[in-house]
Structure 1
């Protein structure tokens, strides 16, 4: 399980992603005050391994995930979902992921073809504003973590718009 500190993106702070033993696996450099809402994910040695940035021109919230400098996925919010918000993680090829659930409260699942490949929950963690992400064996953990961070950026941006009355 991975542990992520939630809702830091509002101020652009840096934070760490740890395992459930508290060992730092990744450092996330939050560059949200930039025009493109950008996050850089670094491994324990400080090397950039992934990044997330918002597309400036898109009909719906869209974030690009790069891993090792190569485009790995686009994370897009669905236009209309009546009961819960959904995001698609569009991966080149046929292996797209769907993220759905209570996204704002970090209680959601990540599925591929109707099969759960990851889940996030605040209930697993007793630390405030922190949630856990459990990823199935054999899945690309970095892609899923970056996609979850893209979702956090999108949700924080939506909350900021609502707070500003837009």
Structure 2
């Protein structure tokens, strides 16, 4: 499954659609402004909230939390020692860990589980300016979770670059 995201709208408090490879709007990332912490909701076409994405308060390092049905699903934080490339660790509530690495600011990175590729984020496939693609490689992967992870790591990388 391939998705397309218009990059220029990735600001806090802004909404943007994620389209499938045929140009149909599939997911809405709804940025919640006027909150103490950065908050997003990933919604389907009908407006149902699939996952909530929140900045974790009182964490030593910037951390985002993904919740589904008000239950924690995953925690995302930057790995401590990552000198050459951006590395983020996604810890699912069941203890499973996903690794996100690559050039986050350039929108060229991969999401892996135990060395196996789950999804690739890249601008290379698209000729539209300020757009990147998310290719979910595995059929059994949860696209909403991988989109939420992508939103989180890009948001964390942008915040880090601002600081």
Aligned mates of 1:77, 1:6 — CA distance in 2 = 21
Q: Does 2:64 align with 1:100?
A: no
Q: Deviations over 1:51-87 (max 9, x none)?
A: 1111121111210001233211001111121211100
Flag structure 2 segments of 5+ consecutive residues without an equivalent: none
RMSD of equivalent CA atoms: 1.4
Partner residue, 2:47: 46
**Partner SS state of residue 157, structure 1:** helix
Number of equivalent positions: 161
C-alpha separation between the residues in 2 aligned to 1:148 and 1:33?
23
Q: Which runs of 4+ in 1 moved over 6 A?
A: none
* Mapped partners of 1:129, 1:83: distance in 2: 24
Q: When the two structures are superposed, what TM-score results if normalisation uses the length of structure 1? A: 0.90
Indicate whether 1:148 and 2:150 are aligned.
yes
Preserved contact between residue 7 and residue 156 of structure 1 (Cα < 8 Å): no
- The 10-residue stretch of structure 1 (108-117 or 11-20) with the greater mean CA deviation from structure 2: 11-20
5+ residue gaps, structure 1, are 162-166
Question: Equivalent residue for 2:121?
Answer: 120
**Contact 2:12–2:32 (CA under 8 A) maintained in structure 1:** no
